[in-house]
Chains A and B, each alone.
Chain A
Amino acid sequence: MMLLQTLIHHTYFLLSAVVALLLLTRLFRRKSRPGLAYDIVYAYAIIPFILRALHVK
């Protein structure tokens, strides 16, 4: 059970990193919604995922 919990816990950080990477990719490489407002949203939305992946918050 401890192993399972540890695995779930670390998967959570891994998922944060994956989402951060996805947002980062979409910030620079996307075909739809190229406007400034969307750039800001992508750049801002990435923050919590990076902070969690880096074990800051």
Chain B
Amino acid sequence: MSDRALVARRAALLMASAALMVVGTQDIRALRAYRETVVVSEAFTRQVPLSTYFDGIRGTLMDVPVFAFDSGVPGGSVLILGGAHAYEPASPVMAYVVMENIAVTQGRVFVIARANMSASTLGMLGNAYPPFFRVRTPWGEKKYRIGDRETHPLEQWPDPFTFVHYPSKQNLAYQDSRNMNRTFPGRPDGNLTERTSFAISELIRREKIDLTIDVHEASMGYPVVSTYVCHERAEELCMMAAMMLSAEQFPMKTENSPKSLRGLTHREIGDFTESFAVLMETPEPFIDKFVGPMTEALMLTGKDEFMQTAADRGLLYAEYDMKTGATLDYRVGRHLAGAAEVVKQMGEFYPGKKVLAAWPTYAEVMEKGIGAFLHDPAGADPSRVFRH
């Protein structure tokens, strides 16, 4: 083969690789570029970047917006933290439903819908699930990112051999250096995830947040599913809230935050700030390891035959019936009710910290679906539409 033919062949192969790169990364690039929209309610008062509380994350993807809903009436303050683990989407969607519908008559409510924005811009390696899911609304579909558990390596890499949690010095798995729910209370000169956790801790301290609710989802083979996990200072709030929910709406457990498990919000926010720290988990079959194909339908319905087999054999930590599954409506509804109940209990136990805030109830969401509570950005006042 002549030199010219050889160069032409190699150039053609390089072009083929370039074509593969363009075609093969379409989903990856779309996920990274896509921004979710939220139409905030009339109770909205201001939005500031998280870097307002700690400059060390300014200009990064982690500099997420913090939305404030201030009644102007003295009372307590609540922070709803969504999306610390992006692949638990009932968490950010619950935050969006709150932001779009909240009415506050006493106290203040702060919402971060995508606490780890970076994690929401990639999928989990090897799990082959779709980048997005869509929620039907009366005016069309609303699209959300599914995301991963940890911060994107494009933002933070390489991982250490062992992640040493600050300040406890507890040794954790290497990937936990990018796991937002292992990096609290954060470190001002730490890695990006630690700095973001520190910024959130600073927000809690500076805004004198009385109650922090970190919203998650759990696999059903995990004992802490359908549970409040609470710092010991918040124990009585959670006990009462769990009892009320279990008696009136749906089964809810409560557990105290283990003192030896470091880096989690329910432990570190409780230890390093004045805030009551509560974490909520709903059942999310999508992230269980033994389910079938991880499709958009599984994300939205939670119906899976392998999950049913596990339930029949008594291997799950929550009730499961494939006929009803664990729909996104159910999971978001649970979170809405779970947050409302614990806020209510804070006001009962500590009248000076009372927050009167309303958002869609579990019953309303189960009846109408979450789509009924998500508003059309095209028809909304532009000053209340945010891309996220």
Interface readout for B8-50 with A: 1 if CB under 8 Å, 0 if not? 0110011011001100010011001000000000000000000
**Interface, chain A (partner B; CB < 8 A):** 1-2, 5, 8-9, 12, 24, 27-28, 34, 36, 39-40, 42-44, 46-47, 50-51, 55-57
8 Å CB contact of B17 from A5, A9, A46, A57: A46
Q: How far is the CA of A27 from the CA of B56 in the complex (A)?
A: 42
What's the minimum C-beta distance from B355 to chain A, rounded to whole angstroms?
A: 36
A-side contacts of B156, CB under 8 Å: 9
Neighbouring A residues of B14 by C-beta, 8 Å: 24, 27, 43, 46
Q: Which residues of B contact A51 (CB under 8 A)?
A: 21, 25
Nearest residue, chain B, Cβ from A48: B21
On whether the beta carbons of B158 and A12 are closer than 8 Å, the reply is yes
Q: Which positions in B face A, CB cutoff 8 Å? A: 6-7, 9-10, 13-14, 16-17, 20-21, 25, 28-29, 32, 56, 154, 156-158, 189-191, 195
Q: CB-CB < 8 A to A24: which residues of B?
A: 14
Closest to B155 in A: A9
Q: Could you tell me if A1 and B9 are in contact, using CB atoms closer than 8 angstroms?
A: no
Task: Find A12's partner among B29, B157, B189 (CB 8 Å cutoff).
Answer: B157
Distance A51 CA – B17 CA, assembled complex (angstroms):
11
With A5-B191, A47-B17 already in contact, the answer to whether A34 and B6 are too (CB < 8 A) is yes
Q: Are A2 and B189 within 8 A (Cβ)?
A: yes
Please give, as numbers and ranges, the residues of chain B lying within 8 Å of A12 by CB-CB distance. 157-158
What B residues does A28 contact at CB under 8 A?
A: 7, 10
Nearest to A46 among chain B residues (CB) is: B17
B29 in contact with A36 (CB, 8 Å): no
A-B CB proximity, top 3 nearest: A43-B13, A1-B189, A43-B17
In the complex, 20 of the A-B residue pairs with CB atoms within 8 angstroms, ordered by the A residue number, are A1-B190, A5-B191, A9-B156, A9-B157, A27-B13, A39-B9, A39-B10, A39-B13, A40-B13, A42-B13, A43-B10, A43-B13, A43-B14, A43-B16, A43-B17, A47-B17, A47-B21, A50-B21, A51-B21, A57-B25
